[in-house]
Amino acid sequence: MVTIKQIATATGVSSSTVSRVLNSDMTLSVSDNTRQKVIDTAKQLNYIKKAKKNEKQKTIHICVLTVFSESREARDTYWRQIYMGIEKAAYQSGVLIDEIIRIDQGVDAMLLGNFDAVIILGNISEEAITKIREINHNIVLVDSTVHYDDVTAVNPELSQMTYRILDELYGNGRRHIGFIGGDNDVLELDGTSKSKINDPRFDSYHEWMSLKQLQPQSFIGDWRPETGSQGTVKLLADGNIIDALVVASDPIAIGAISILKNYGLEPGKDIDIVSFDNLDIVAYIIPPLTTVELSPLALGKTALAQAIELSSAAHDWTNWTTIPSSLKYRETFKLK
C-alpha cells in the first residue's frame, strides 16, 4: 500500500502538502507544477485514496439470477453452497444482495437495470445474455458451460480434473471406464429451455477415451440419484465389463453404488468409482466415496468479488477465473 509519506519523499515536498493536494485543497499556496507533480507521482505509484471515516461509501446492490428451481436447489448442496459463499462475502464486504431471482419462473430483463451487478448461476442462452447486457453490463457467470468473450466468469476446475482422474484410473490398470452424469438445460429469460448443453466432464471423458483408443460407455440423465441406478444397470447390461466409473456428482454416485452389489461388484476392488462434489455424507457411506472437492464457497466468494469490481469500475476487462479442485481419496479409489 503506497503511503502519502512515500509520495512526499518521491516529490521532495512535505507530507501535509501531498495530503492537501490529493484532497483537492485549492487554498493551498503551491505552484501548479508542484501540484501536478504530486498528482502524477501518486498515479505512477498506484496510490489509492482512503475514504474518510465520516465519508459515506456507496452501497453496492447485487442481484443473483439462478436457473435452478427451489426444489433443485434443495437437493443440490453444490449450488446452495455457491449462494452461501456469495451471501457470506457480501455480508463481509457491506454489499447488499437485494434479490435472488429464479429464471424458471420467468424474469423481466428491465428489472435487472436496478442493480449494480448481476451474478448468474448456471447456463442461460446467448439471447438471454444479450438482453441482459442491453440493460446491465456488469454480469458475472458462475459455473457456466458457455464462455463469452466479453462476460466475466468464475468456474470450477472440471475438464482438467476429469483428465487427471482418467489418467490415474488408467495408471491403475483400468481399461473399461464408464461415465454417468447429467446434462444441462440452457434457459431463456421466460423460464423455457430450447436446448441442452453437455457437461464439460462428459465431453472431456469422450475426448480422453478417443485419445486412448478405448470404447466409451456412458449414460446421461437427470441430476438425481436415480440416474446413477439407471445408468449402472444400463452400462452393466448384457454382461458388459466395467472396471471403473467416473460420475459427475455424489448423489448420482450414491445411486450407482446402491446397484453394484446386485452384480456382485465391490467398489474399490472390482470397480473403482470417482465422483464430484465432496458432500459431507460420502465420507461415511460404505464404502466411503473418492470424490472431487469443487470449493463452491470459494466460487461464490470470487463471483461476489468480481461483481464488486465491475460495479465499482475497478477494471474494464473481462476476467475468466478457474477455482482449483482437489481429489479426496477414499475407499472407492486409491492410487496403487
Identify the pLDDT of residue 33.
81
Domain ranges of the chain: 4-44, 61-156+296-325, 159-293
**pLDDT band with cut points at 50, 70 and 90 for residue 5:** confident
Q: Is the pLDDT of residue 4 over 90?
A: no
Contact 250, 279 (CB under 8 A): yes
One-letter-per-residue 3-state SS of 16-67: HHHHHHHCCCCCCCCCHHHHHHHHHHHHHCCCCCCCCCCCCCCCCEEEEEEC
Sign of the CA dihedral with 129 first, then 202, 71, and 153 last: negative
Q: Would you call 245 helix, strand, or coil by DSSP?
A: strand
Beta strand pairing status for 184-187 and 193-197? antiparallel
Contact 242, 307 (CB under 8 A): no
Task: Quote the pTM value.
Answer: 0.80
Q: Which of 279, 277, 289, 286 is nearest to 332 (CA)?
A: 289
Instruction: Quote the mean pLDDT of the chain.
Output: 90
Contact 250, 289 (CB under 8 A): yes
In this predicted structure, which of 13-22, 74-83, 253-262, 289-298 has the lowest mean pLDDT?
13-22
Higher pLDDT, 85 or 146: 85
Give dist(CA 204, CA 167) in Å, integer: 12
Phi, psi angles (nearest 5°) of residue 225: -55, -30
Phi, psi angles (nearest 5°) of residue 150: -115, 25
159-293 topology per CATH: Rossmann fold (3.40.50)
Asked, as a colleague might, if the bond just before 287 is cis with ω within 30 of 0, I would say yes
Contact 185, 123 (CB under 8 A): yes
Scan for cell 498515479, then name that residue.
43
Q: Which of 26, 35, 100 is nearest to 68 (CA)?
A: 100
Q: What is the DSSP letter of 315?
A: -
pLDDT digits (tens, 9 = 90+) for 236-273: 997 889 999 999 999 999 999 999 988 999 999 999 99
Give dist(CA 199, CA 144) in Å, integer: 10
Phi, psi angles (nearest 5°) of residue 279: -65, 150
The architecture in CATH of the region 61-156+296-325 reads 3-Layer(aba) Sandwich (3.40)
- Alpha-carbon Rg of the chain, whole angstroms? 26
